[in-house]
Amino acid sequence: MSNEPRILVSGAGGFIGHHLVKYLVKRGYVVRGADIKAPEFEGTDANEFVISDLRNHSECLKVTKNIDEVYHLAADMGGIGYISAAHASITLNNTLINAHMLSAARANGVRRLLFSSSACVYPQYLQKRPDVEPLREQDAFPADPEEGYGLEKLYTEKLCQYFTKDWHFETRVVRFHNVYGPLGTFDGGREKAPAAICRKVALLADGSEIEIWGDGLQTRSFMYIDDCVEGIHRIMRSDYSAPLNLGTDELVSVDELVDIVSSIAGKKLVKRHDTSRPQGVRGRNSDNSRLRSVLGWEPKTPLRVGLIPTYRWIEACVSGRLHQPVQTAAE
């Protein structure tokens, strides 16, 4: 019998959760997945998968029973179009999910819980220029997070801190910076920018016009999914309980992102910018100084490398070739 801790991955039907389950099972962990839905594109590798509405405390109690560690990724979320238009439902759903999961995990004797936070917690007043300074963990206060999703994430970070300080319940907090890769949602309104752009490019003929939300000058850093799940596991195994950035510091504009994807596709496209569409903060980048100090590691996959398998997979999906094998960036 394995001596590894028994793991719950909440949100295991989602993009990051699905990849994390694969990663942990390959390393010998016994993993229970839980989500309101099954994975979208392929079956789960979890030893057990429970369909569960984690907004209910009773459901959180069930899925955390006989569990040692929780990777808590379950959330109502999506791209900028979605999170800027659904403040009430996102905030309500995630507040219920997070408070009930923390409470249930503690009640069931879970040893440690990792909470998936977001770079959306960072103050909007620090993100008003495309050439933004990388955001450090201590920059979260004085607070001015993104409305709804960002505010709820920042509040739950504090709730984790209070559980640890007052009740000695071990928590870890990871602040994700824009994750992309194969098997992620690429249409329907909840997709992130890399997936949306890959989909648009795949559907367009060479020489066509591509619609870009905003003026294209807004900047972000993007992290490949393989780096993301390795980083999550490293943070869970660390002795560091304060929030940690998990992202790359490779800053690119949305226009540059379009150019990279178009190059991978072998297409030349004409950009048409729609400034009436949501585009989020002007610039956002990750400062990885503390991550390197704590872990001696940071995400390493260059954007152009990670976008190759991402684009190839999305292109196969939209062309109807859904079951082709997916290569990782390392392959």
Active site residues: 149
16, 194, 199 from 261: Cα distances, Å: 21, 8, 10
Q: What is the DSSP letter of 36?
A: S
Cβ atoms 158, 102 nearer than 8 A: no
Angle of helix 225-237 relative to helix 15-26, nearest 10 degrees, comes to 60
Give the position of tokens 């292109």: 315
Residue 13 three-state SS:
coil
Show the DSSP H helices in the chain as ranges: 15-26, 57-63, 80-83, 87-107, 149-167, 193-203, 225-237, 254-265, 289-295, 303-318
Residue-by-residue DSSP string for 219-287? EEE-EEHHHHHHHHHHHHHSS--S-EEES---EEEHHHHHHHHHHHHT---EEEEETTS---SSB--B-
Residue-by-residue DSSP string for 280-294? -SSB--B--HHHHHH
Q: Which of 67, 59, 70 is closest to 12 using CA atoms? A: 70
Which pair of tokens denotes residue 169?
């319940």
CA separation for the pair 196, 218 (Å, rounded): 16
Q: Which of 246, 89, 241, 36 is closest to 158 using CA atoms? A: 241
